[in-house]
Amino acid sequence: SQELEQSPQSLIVQEGKNLTINCTSSKTLYGLYWYKQKYGEGLIFLMMLQKGGEEKSHEKITAKLDEKKQQSSLHITASQPSHAGIYLCGAAREGAQKLVFGQGTRLTINP
Partner 1 sequence: DGGITQSPKYLFRKEGQNVTLSCEQNLNHDAMYWYRQDPGQGLRLIYYSQIVNDFQKGDIAEGYSVSREKKESFPLTVTSAQKNPTAFYLCASGVSQPQHFGDGTRLSIL
What is the closest distance, in whole angstroms, from the C-beta atom of residue 8 to partner 1 in the complex? 13
Identify residues 41-100 at the interface with partner 1 (CB under 8 A).
41-45, 48, 88, 90, 92, 97-99
Q: Which amino acid is at 51?
A: K
Stretch that binds partner 1, among 31-39, 54-62, 63-71, 73-81 (CB under 8 A): 31-39
Handedness of CA 82, 74, 5, 111 (dihedral sign): negative
| 33 touching partner 1, by CB under 8 A | yes
Helix (H) or strand (E) holding 64: strand 61-66
